[in-house]
Amino acid sequence: MKLWNTKDFSKPVLTQTIDKSSGVIKPFFDKYLEILFLCGKGDGNIRYFEWLNGNLKSYGNDYKTAVPGRGYGMLPKYTCDPMK
């Protein structure tokens, strides 16, 4: 995985190896919580990283399931009711 500054593509801000899977990983970033979610098609894992002081920090507690993902999408926060 490489993270780029959209104002300067001369070099990546961060380069990090995630795994050796051949599937396409879809990134979703929550700018308010500063959390990056990585979901792979055909993969049952959702990895998440916190953006902290210019680095991505993983706590190693990814969401894992035996059911492979087929598609992912992020909803705006106002569509979720945490009380239900």
Task: Judge whether 6 lies within some domain.
Answer: no
H or E segment and range at residue 63: strand 63-64
Task: Judge whether 62 lies within some domain.
Answer: yes
Task: Judge whether 4 lies within some domain.
Answer: no
Task: Judge whether 72 lies within some domain.
Answer: no
Cα separation, 46 vs 26, whole angstroms = 10
Task: Judge whether 1 lies within some domain.
Answer: no
Number of domains comprising the chain = 1
Q: Look up the domain containing 35 and give its range.
A: 19-67
Dihedral of CA atoms 38, 20, 56, 46 in degrees, nearest 10, equals 30
- Report pTM: 0.74
Task: Judge whether 45 lies within some domain.
Answer: yes
Task: Judge whether 10 lies within some domain.
Answer: no
The confidence score (pLDDT) of residue 22 equals 66
Question: Has residue 17 got a pLDDT over 70?
Answer: yes
The confidence score (pLDDT) of residue 10 equals 92
Cα separation, 48 vs 46, whole angstroms = 7
Task: Judge whether 82 lies within some domain.
Answer: no
Look up tokens 């970033």; give the residue: 29
